[in-house]
Amino acid sequence: MSTAISMASMSTYAILGCGSVGHAVAEELVDEGRDVLILDRDESRVEALRDQDLDARTADIREPAAAEAIADRDVVLVLSSDIDANKAAVEHLRGREGKRFLVVRASDPVTADELKQAGADVVINPSAVIADSALRALEQGELEYKTTQLAEIIDRGESLAVLAHRSPGPDSIASAVALQAIAESRDVEADILYEGEIGHQEDRAFVNLLGIDLVPFGDVDIDGYDTLALVDCAKATDPVTDATVDILIDHFEPEVEYGAEFSDVRSNVSSTSTILTKYIQELDLSLTEEVATALLYGIRVETLDFKRDTTPADLTAAAYLYPFANHDTLEQVESPSMSPETLDVLAEAIRNREVKGSHLVSNAGFIRDRDALSQAAQHLLNLEGITTSAVFAIADNTIYLAARSKDIRIDIGNVLQDAFEEIGEVLGHSTDASAEIPLGIFTGLETTGDNRETLLELTEQAVRSKLFEALGVEGGSGDGSNGS
């Protein structure tokens, strides 16, 4: 109905069949100052409508005369509960000259299709509208209840530890920043804790430009905090902490049971930042530029700039955050300069690439900056004919691998799981994934002295073979193009 109502301020309207739905629509339109004509076959109903100063006339909407009576109307709403009568009205209206916008009531998906075929521009199903409204009310009620619960748990103590996942990415960091802001708005001190390292160059820029204070987990006594929250930690296959968890918020079902007193896991959204944005809205907090920018970046990264598994909730959260975010900062975060080592790693990956079909796998040798692998994988994905790229290298007696894919038939996260889950740690999504594999599993050698070349050769053979096998193509070298 909103589509029809917004067509033009001077549009004229007709309502055919004025039951309870039609009556409610007519009153709303008249209150807005619209010119509305009502046709209904029930004389007593028409008389009652006239008593309310509505322009109503008696007519059978199944007859051609009804269509003739409203021939000059721009927008026609056919809202009778008699669906056969509605269909007849649509056919008569479409059989006449002139353009008019038709909004028609259906009773189920089958009649909706029939009415569309008959010429309806918009079809509405009152039962579906009511169900949708009920679900929205339920969702809002659940959010209010959850928000109250969360606030009560935070308010119980004076200090909160917010633990992000190991080597956290933007969604985890942004979610932690938002929960910290919620706690501090309630006069509760909060620290963001993390293990591992901020590896990606973009992630380091994100943290530095926004001035986000992250505390290494090993530098604090976790038992010294009154409350502990985990955000975006569900993908961890082992417990991220043995301490008692009070709050758990994530957009994935956790692999580990933490028994948190408060748990909000929503697999129907694509980022934990979306969930935290809803809490900030519900609490009506004054949104700082730093928090808004962090949350918007978290949503954008997790949804690949709204190209991966994006839900309406993610879009509405991003729309809410957009006016408050610093877009110059976002541009700086998303376009970091390439370091000399990253350039060297990219050059090595280009030289050592092997291509089978549209799949590219490359060995970047020994590296110091692991972040360079993800940048190399992304650059190689842009080569002509390539839909999947994977780049691996050795550092600290570990094989690190970064993979990217734009092939809708492939879930690169599942590919790496199939290839390396039993021997290493795999993280990622359908388009972006990474793996860490202990070096000794493949070689039994250490990265010292004369072993380096042998080590590299053994690693290359093993990783390439497993990757190509998981991708569904024959492994080994020699039957694809390579850069050597």
* Domains of the chain, start order: 2-124 (3.40.50.720), 141-333 (3.90.1640.10), 340-482 (3.10.310.30)
pLDDT at 449 over 70: no
Secondary structure (3-state) at 194: strand
Alpha helices per DSSP H over 392-435: 412-420
Rounded mean pLDDT, 221-250: 89
Q: What is the pLDDT of residues 402-441, one digit of tens each?
A: 999 888 788 888 899 889 888 888 887 777 888 988 887 6
Q: What pLDDT score does 390 carry? A: 93
- Burial (CB count <10 Å: 0-12, 13-18, 19+), residue 276: buried
471/354 Cα distance (integer angstroms): 14
Q: Which residues contact 452 (CB under 8 A, 6 or more apart)?
A: 366
Task: Say how far residue 89 (Cα) sits from the centre of its chain.
Answer: 42
Predicted local distance difference test score (pLDDT) of residue 472: 86
* Distance separating alpha carbons of residues 291 and 302, to the nearest angstrom: 16
Calculate the alpha carbon distances from 201 to 8, 197, 231, 342, 399 in Å. 50, 11, 22, 10, 19
pLDDT one-digit tens code per residue, 67-106:
999 988 999 999 998 999 999 999 999 888 878 899 999 9
Amino acid 5: pLDDT: 40
Identify the helix (H) or strand (E) that includes residue 63.
none
> Cα angle vertex 165, ends 431, 219, to 5°?
145
Q: Which of 51-65, 99-113, 120-134 has the weakest average pLDDT?
A: 120-134
